């Protein structure tokens, strides 16, 4: 089950961009801290390296770099942007929204800006929101665009001694510009589902209103990101295939019509296994996870920009995006490529 929403107004992705910090962290480097072998990390996750933000870089800094690239690819100016939506679970501050810093840095002062947090499914939620906002009457008839960004800096919330999480995550940002596309192209629809009874599989328990940060929470390590890896894997393996099937059925598409599958880059080995169960026999599975690890809400737009920059996406092809993350939340977006 899920909520499936057809896209409105002929909206599609007209530009993509991404940013990875300069600092490369090898498996041997992260493995030494987590007391695991670097070769074991690659065998279990498909990850060879990840990037960590510099000391002066926060979530908004990464987001701005990706946004500038996406806007250049789309030929968009700051005044063209009506909406800035940042998907993140590692914001610059608890408040205000990271999107406000992005708006200021870009000089996009005609845009409204806000954040979305659905953890690693956040980019799909933000993409859906941006498409629906552009379809609203107040923006119809103008060249008004939405800038949708996924940006996360997980290196700031990792316990580097935790072998279940530290080897998996890196930092990065990806962005897309949404705007009008010709008939027959663009977003066909999105799907979302949350299984809130599984909320304890992924999270950071301290620092919010339920348990504010204190000396006690820091001493317990409750400000670190925690994940029950086996439970998350079971959720993805058992739930993602049915949700993908539901998405295709909702929008009248056969699995063999899908040319590209761009999933959240959680774990390369897990994704290779589950991809065979999705009923997408002709789809190319895009997995640049080996180059940057799990970058949270940034991973789908990063992979999409990687594919676009490499010339792997052809006009008219069907592309399926799929995210899954804490909550537990699933998100899908089906689109026909064309700019």
Over residues 58-94, the pLDDT tens digits come to 999 999 999 999 999 999 999 999 999 999 999 999 9
- Determine the longest span between alpha carbons in the chain, in angstroms: 58
Of the CA atoms within 13 Å of residue 297, those in its CB half-sphere come to: 33
The tens place of each residue's pLDDT in the chain, 339 residues long, gives 789 888 777 899 999 999 999 999 999 999 999 999 999 999 999 999 999 999 999 999 999 999 999 999 999 999 999 999 999 999 999 999 999 999 999 999 999 999 999 999 999 999 999 999 998 766 555 668 999 999 999 999 999 999 999 999 999 999 999 999 998 999 999 999 999 999 999 999 999 999 999 999 999 999 999 999 999 999 999 999 999 999 999 999 999 999 999 999 999 999 999 999 999 999 999 999 999 999 999 999 999 999 999 999 999 999 999 999 999 999 999 999 997
Active site residues per annotation:
120, 264, 294
Considering only CA atoms, which of 166, 148, 74, 154 is closest in space to residue 111? 148
Which H helix or E strand runs over 147?
strand 145-153
Tell me the domains of the chain and their CATH numbers.
Answer: 9-181 (3.40.47.10), 188-336 (3.40.47.10)
| Distances, alpha carbon 110 to alpha carbons 81, 103, 128, in Å | 7, 9, 21
Cis previous bond, 303, omega within 30? no
Structure tokens of 315? Answer: 């006009």
Closest CA to 123 of 295, 270, 277: 295
Q: Which residues contact 107 (CB under 8 A, 6 or more apart)?
A: 78
């Amino acid at each position: 089950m899920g909520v499936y929403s057809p896209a409105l107004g002929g909206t599609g992705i007209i530009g993509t961009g991404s940013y990875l910090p300069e600092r490369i962290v090898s498996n041997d480097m992260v493995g030494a801290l987590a007391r695991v072998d670097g070769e074991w990390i690659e065998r279990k996750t498909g990850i060879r390296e990840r990037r960590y933000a510099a000391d002066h870089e926060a979530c908004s800094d990464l987001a701005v770099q990706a946004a500038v690239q996406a806007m250049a690819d789309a030929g968009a100016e700051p005044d063209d942007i009506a909406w800035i939506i940042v998907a993140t679970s590692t914001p610059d501050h608890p408040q205000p929204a990271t999107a406000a810093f992005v708006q200021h840095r870009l000089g996009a002062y005609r845009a409204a800006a806000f954040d979305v947090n659905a953890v690693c499914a956040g980019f799909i939620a933000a993409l859906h929101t941006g498409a629906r906002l552009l379809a609203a009457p107040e923006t119809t008839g103008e060249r008004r665009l939405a800038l949708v960004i996924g940006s996360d800096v997980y290196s700031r919330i990792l316990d580097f001694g935790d072998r279940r999480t530290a080897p998996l995550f890196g930092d990065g940002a990806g962005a897309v510009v949404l705007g009008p596309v010709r008939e027959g192209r663009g977003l066909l629809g999105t799907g979302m589902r949350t299984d809130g009874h599984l909320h304890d599989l992924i999270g950071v328990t301290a620092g919010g209103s339920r348990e504010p940060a204190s000396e006690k929470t820091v001493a317990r390590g409750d400000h670190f990101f925690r994940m029950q890896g086996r439970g998350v894997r079971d959720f993805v393996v058992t739930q993602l295939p049915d949700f993908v099937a539901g998405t295709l059925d909702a929008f009248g598409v056969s699995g063999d019509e899908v040319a590209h599958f761009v999933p959240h880059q959680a774990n390369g080995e897990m994704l290779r296994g589950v991809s065979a169960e999705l009923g997408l026999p002709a789809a190319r599975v895009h997995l640049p996870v080996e180059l940057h690890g799990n970058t949270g809400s940034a991973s789908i737009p990063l992979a999409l920009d990687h594919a676009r920059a490499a010339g792997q996406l052809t006009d008219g092809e069907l592309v399926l995006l799929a995210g899954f993350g804490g909550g537990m939340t699933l998100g899908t977006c089906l689109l026909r490529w064309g700019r």
